[in-house]
Amino acid sequence: MKTTVTLADVKDAREALSKIVHNTPLDRSHTFSAMTGKEVYLKLENLQKTGSFKIRGAYNKIRLLTAEEKAKGVIAASAGNHAQGVAYAATAAGIKATIVMPEAAPLAKIMATRGYGAEVALAGSIYDEAYQRAVQIQEDSGQTFIHAFNDLSVIAGQGTIGLEILEALPDVSAIVVPIGGGGLIAGVAAAVKEAAPHVKVYGVQAAGAPAMYISKQAHTVKATPDAVTMADGIAVKVPGDLTFPVIDKYVDDIVVVDDENTASTILMLLERAKLMVEGAGAVSLAAVLQNLIPVTGKVVSVISGGNIDVNFISRIIERGLVKAGRRIKISTHVLDRPGSLQRLLAVIAKLNANVINIYHDRIERNVPLGQSVVEISLETRDALHSDEIIMGLRREGYHVDMI
């Protein structure tokens, strides 16, 4: 029985997928290149069908099922992207699909999976718990299980990304890949290291879900008790026993990034590159921007997906603006008489700040008689502008506190 993926497997998948999936753009980023001193390229799998790379592995697996396996229908567990890939591929093949997703999966991913024709069941708080429920259902239903990462046909399908990168950029120095269970990087590494052994392959995990990072250090599969990260697509506690040997053999190193850096990278991609990218898709670039990849020359970050909930994007934007000093909230006191608030706002207007909202209270317990407390949220250009606003208000006699 076969236990690993070869370059021939990936090439076979590439041929089969050529008319199914997009050969996604490999875009050189002037902005990120200037920021890092490297030539940074983005492999834009967020522009893939279903919004992520997962359709590659799912379709490759389903096309190889026997007639008997197809007749039973398929079942999968997924944090969202594999769900959509399986749903799309199963519907295209005329097969019934059941997907078990974590209860906390983004609504956009749940709705999209149903939209592609799958039946969706919600179970558990993270992928591993949804997987356990899917196994239970499969034992009762007899459906064919399509694993999100621990399957050789799935790994081969994901590896087609590596071949596309080598064809588009033959002199690439390094490829940086997000890691959850390891299916994507196992496929990419197997293809790249067999075709071009000199090219470095680096993996990136979320600091709150570092199972593969720990496993790589120990050279054996290690699980973590929790997987807590905003990057839901790579929140995996137990690495794959099929993916790990490939990763241990071929991947040069694995690094971790925290959620703060991931969130700021999502915001930067949205603002500077006009790309909507989910947390799991942004960790590869976050690692490059944090100078965690010790390579010069041409570096490709695989942007693995863009299926992010719009409400979550809104929170990231707000948080990012605050962190960058472009949103501030201040507190001060004014005299409780007509025109006092107007005078304060006139000073703020002169300082070119935009008022988002105001809270005004003259009866709060700690406010002296004859005065009112005013809390104002302001939109500014940057942190320097925020400092100028506070200093300008103090010059006008206001005692200003940052909230």
CATH of the domain at 133: 3.40.50.1100
Please report which residue ranges of 207-337 form alpha helices under DSSP H: 211-218, 243-250, 259-272, 279-289, 310-323
pLDDT score, position 193:
98
Catalytic residue annotation: 54, 304
Q: Is 314 exposed, middle or buried (0-12, 13-18, 19+ CB in 10 A)?
A: exposed
pLDDT score, position 309:
85
Place of tokens 């990087």: 185
pLDDT score, position 141:
92
CA 198 vs CA 58, 166, 171, 240, 302: distances in Å: 29, 12, 10, 26, 18
pLDDT score, position 186:
98
Other C-beta atoms closer than 10 Å to the C-beta of 403 total 9
pLDDT score, position 310:
86
Number of domains in the chain: 3
pLDDT score, position 368:
86
Instruction: Out of 127, 145, 163, pick the residue that ends a domain.
Output: 145
Task: Give the least confident one: 124-128, 274-278, 300-304.
Answer: 124-128
The answer to whether residues 43 and 178 belong to one domain is yes
Per-residue pLDDT reduced to its tens digit, 336-363: 999 999 999 999 999 999 999 999 998 8
* CA–CA separation, 187 and 191 (whole Å): 6
The answer to whether residues 184 and 298 belong to one domain is yes
pLDDT score, position 317:
87
CA 372 vs CA 240, 298, 350: distances in Å: 61, 58, 22
Per-residue pLDDT reduced to its tens digit, 159-192: 999 999 999 999 999 999 999 999 999 999 999 9
Whether 195 and 161 have beta carbons less than 8 Å apart is answered as no
For range 16-39, the mean pLDDT = 97
CA 286 vs CA 257, 264, 333: distances in Å: 7, 8, 42
Mapped onto helix, strand or coil, the DSSP state of residue 179 is coil
The answer to whether residues 216 and 306 belong to one domain is yes
Q: Report yes or no on 2 lying in a domain.
A: no
Task: Give the least confident one: 68-72, 134-138, 363-367.
Answer: 363-367
Whether 56 and 15 have beta carbons less than 8 Å apart is answered as no
pLDDT score, position 201:
98
Q: Kindly report the CATH number assigned to the domain that includes residue 342.
A: 3.30.70.260
* CA–CA separation, 142 and 389 (whole Å): 66
pLDDT score, position 39:
98
The answer to whether residues 98 and 199 belong to one domain is no
Q: How confident is the model at residue 325 (pLDDT cuts 50, 70, 90)?
A: confident
Which helix (H) or strand (E) covers residue 242, if one does? none
Residue 50 predicted with pLDDT over 90: yes
Q: Quote the mean pLDDT of the chain.
A: 94
* CA–CA separation, 305 and 133 (whole Å): 25
Q: Report yes or no on 1 lying in a domain.
A: no
Residue 1 predicted with pLDDT over 80: no
Structural domain boundaries enclosing 123:
55-145
Q: What is the DSSP string of 102-122?
A: -TTS-HHHHHHHHHTT-EEEE
The answer to whether residues 220 and 274 belong to one domain is yes
- Please state, for a pLDDT cut of 70, what percent of the chain lies above it: 100
For range 59-64, the mean pLDDT = 97
- Please state, for a pLDDT cut of 90, what percent of the chain lies above it: 87
